[in-house]
Amino acid sequence: MGKGFFVGVVAAALSAAPAVQAQAPAAGKKPAAAKSVSGSECKLTTVATGTVASVVDGSTFVLDDGREVRLAALEVAPPTEPAGAAAKAALASLVAGQPIELRAAGSESGPETDRYGRLFAHVYVTNDKNERWAEAELIARGHARVAARVGERACATVLLARERAARAANLGLWADPYYVIRPADDAAAVAAERGRFAIVEGKVLSVRESGATIYVNFGRRWTQDFTVTIAKRNESAFTSAGLEPKRLQGRRVRVRGYVEQRGGPWVEATRPEQIELAERN
């Protein structure tokens, strides 16, 4: 493909799920009782256990044996921002001093680590019969967004449904204009997110292939418009998830990932959970 194709893709089509009330509801709204979010649909394997000694930020904590843990599947605001401080407080209220299990999708070789050496997994608080899934709790309360990588399709379905409910209720960071979904037809607004995680929504104008890459285009001008790319080697994973790239043309989609600049703004979609059919949600 020549330079003329830009891509627009967005994270996976998902079923509805019940909303969970945030800890800090918007002014004028009556608080509802907090609900535990277990996400029984999400089947993961326990790869490590421990007790939380301290919380570093909204996505990281330290166990009492010194191991550091980074929660999988979510993106939180920096701790220097109000939304980041709120996420840290919410995580601390959930896990501080509590026994937890780290879980992953079918892992038999122990927990994964990130580039900083932190254990990287889904976190479950297991101090009573009603275990609590930390990622789902934070997302449902509006303290975090679903990341580009979740690790398991069923888990992505649950988390994205929680995120939609929190966004619809303007909970937490969704009440801040900084975190709103960017319109794909406003390339300048998308480009302003360069180097940062963002969610972009719009109608796919065309889908084209060139060599080893599929281009999902939201506009006609490669030098300006938003594009999403999918490597041909990953096409079968998207198709199996009901997101055949060629069938995205004319559809309204919601894409999540880190924005890069390649002519116009661009996001690479490597996993089906990065794409939702917005017209269904």
Question: pLDDT band at 39, cuts 50/70/90?
Answer: low
Question: pLDDT band at 151, cuts 50/70/90?
Answer: confident
> In this structure, what token pair is assigned to residue 171?
């909970």
Least confident span in 4-8, 83-87, 188-192, 200-204: 4-8
Q: How far is CA 163 from CA 135, 139, 186, 248, in A?
A: 11, 6, 23, 22
Mean pLDDT calculated for residue range 51-65:
98
Question: pLDDT band at 107, cuts 50/70/90?
Answer: low
Mean pLDDT calculated for residue range 17-30:
36
Count how many residues are written for the chain: 281
Please state the pTM of the whole predicted model: 0.84
The matching CATH number, chosen from 2.40.50.140, 2.40.340.10, 3.50.50.60, 2.102.10.10, for 179-280 is 2.40.50.140
Q: Does 10 score more than 70 pLDDT? A: no
Q: Does 13 score more than 60 pLDDT? A: no
Q: Does 18 score more than 50 pLDDT? A: no
Please tell me the distance from the alpha carbon of residue 13 to that of residue 133, in angstroms, as a whole number: 22
pLDDT of residue 108: 62
Q: Does 31 score more than 70 pLDDT? A: no
Check: CB of residue 224 under 8 Å from CB of residue 187.
yes
Mean pLDDT calculated for residue range 175-182:
96
Mean pLDDT calculated for residue range 222-233:
94
pLDDT of residue 137: 98
pLDDT of residue 110: 78
Dihedral sign, Cα of residue 78, residue 80, residue 84, residue 89: positive
Q: Do domains 45-168 and 179-280 have the same CATH topology?
A: yes
Least confident span in 59-73, 107-121, 174-188, 196-210: 107-121
Of 226, 223, 207, 224, give the one whose Cα is nearest residue 215: 207
pLDDT of residue 9: 33
Mean pLDDT calculated for residue range 178-185:
96
Q: Does 38 score more than 60 pLDDT? A: no
The matching CATH number, chosen from 1.10.287.540, 2.40.50.90, 2.160.20.10, 2.40.10.120, for 45-168 is 2.40.50.90
Least confident span in 28-42, 54-68, 84-98, 145-159: 28-42
Q: Does 35 score more than 60 pLDDT? A: no
> In this structure, what token pair is assigned to residue 16?
């509805």
> How many percent of the chain have pLDDT more than 90?
77
Dihedral sign, Cα of residue 66, residue 70, residue 71, residue 75: positive
Check: CB of residue 263 under 8 Å from CB of residue 222.
yes
Break the chain into its structural domains and give their ranges.
Answer: 45-168, 179-280
